[in-house]
Amino acid sequence: MGRAAWLRWSVVALLLVCTGWFTWVYRQIIATSELDNARPAGAIAVFGAAEYAGRPSPVLRARLDKAVSLYNEGMAPLIITLGGGTEKDSGKTEGGVGRDYLLANGVPYDKIIAETKSLDTEQQVKSLAGIAAQRHLRHLIVVSDGTHLFRIALLCKRAGLSVYTSPRDPLGHIDRVDAAKRMAHEMLSYTFERMGMNVSRLRLWLDGRTGENQGAPGSSRKRRPLSLG
């Protein structure tokens, strides 16, 4: 077999492996997004999404509404809101805005923990693991977008957390292009995590290469309108 033929077969084999891998990841993301695994646990953790001048974005509000529903059903006695902010947010944070929204919807102050430092999904999981250890929480319900939960489950498992995934309710029609971007983001991020690549560091490196976000750590997440995490 000549070198050119060997190279062609290598490329074909690589394409087949990549196709198989991403097909599997896609199916796992969809399966997780369609299944609500919520069951009694020590706390409900709401992953952050964008906030606008102290008000939760539609996506964050949908996640918080899901948490309120689970709390009222008696699924857990505590709600943890996750997510920080940048200097562009005038002191507002996703975790803080989430706490205020929960208070306005009848959740007592002493039943809420607001984490306000994390700037992406990886940092939120790390913060959540710290809170769980401090509070001796054995099991958690994690709430986010359906397509986000498969990656969250992987990160939580690596952090030593036992979690039950619970997707937020749909918001209505989602543009196909936007839906495709969301899915591609999660598929690639999950793949990077499985390869042992730190997605947070990779994002910062990419931002530095493109000249974006200099001096504003974590604000790449803010640029996405619906906060993909």
The winner for highest mean pLDDT among 2-6, 52-56, 99-103 is 99-103
Q: Is the pLDDT of residue 54 over 60?
A: yes
For residue 9, being part of any structural domain is answered with: no
- Using alpha carbons only, what angle is made at residue 191 by residues 190 and 195, rounded to the nearest 5 degrees? 115
Nearest Cα to Cα of residue 81 among 104, 52, 35, 114: 114
For residue 196, being part of any structural domain is answered with: yes
Alpha-carbon distance of 96 to 104, in angstroms, equals: 13
For residue 25, being part of any structural domain is answered with: no
- Using alpha carbons only, what angle is made at residue 109 by residues 45 and 130, rounded to the nearest 5 degrees? 40
Strand-pair category, 79-81 with 43-46: parallel
Q: Is the pLDDT of residue 79 over 50?
A: yes
Dig out the tokens for 72 from the structure: 């009222």
For residue 69, being part of any structural domain is answered with: yes
For residue 12, being part of any structural domain is answered with: no
Max intra-chain CA distance, the chain: 72
Please give the residue range of the domain that contains residue 84: 33-229
Spatial contact of 49 and 60, defined as CB atoms under 8 Å apart: yes
Q: How high does pLDDT run on average in the chain?
A: 86
For residue 8, being part of any structural domain is answered with: no
For residue 193, being part of any structural domain is answered with: yes
- pTM for the whole structure: 0.82
Dig out the tokens for 218 from the structure: 């974590």
Lowest-confidence segment of 6-10, 86-90, 161-165, 200-204 by average pLDDT: 200-204
**Residue 137: what pLDDT?**
97
Confidence of residue 199 (pLDDT cuts 50, 70, 90): low
For residue 67, being part of any structural domain is answered with: yes
Query: pLDDT tens for residues 86-114?
Result: 766 667 899 999 999 999 999 999 999 99
Which domain CATH number covers 143?
3.40.50.620
**Residue 87: what pLDDT?**
64
**DSSP letters of 21-77?**
HHHHHHHHHHHHHT-----S-SEEEE----EETTEE-HHHHHHHHHHHHHHHTTS-S
Q: Which has the higher per-residue pLDDT, 2 or 12?
A: 12
Alpha-carbon distance of 72 to 126, in angstroms, equals: 27
Whose tokens are 């796992």? That residue is 28
Average pLDDT over residues 153-165: 96
Number of domains in the chain: 1
Dig out the tokens for 88 from the structure: 């562009």
Nearest Cα to Cα of residue 39 among 176, 111, 139, 128: 139
Q: Is the pLDDT of residue 119 over 60?
A: yes
Spatial contact of 120 and 40, defined as CB atoms under 8 Å apart: no
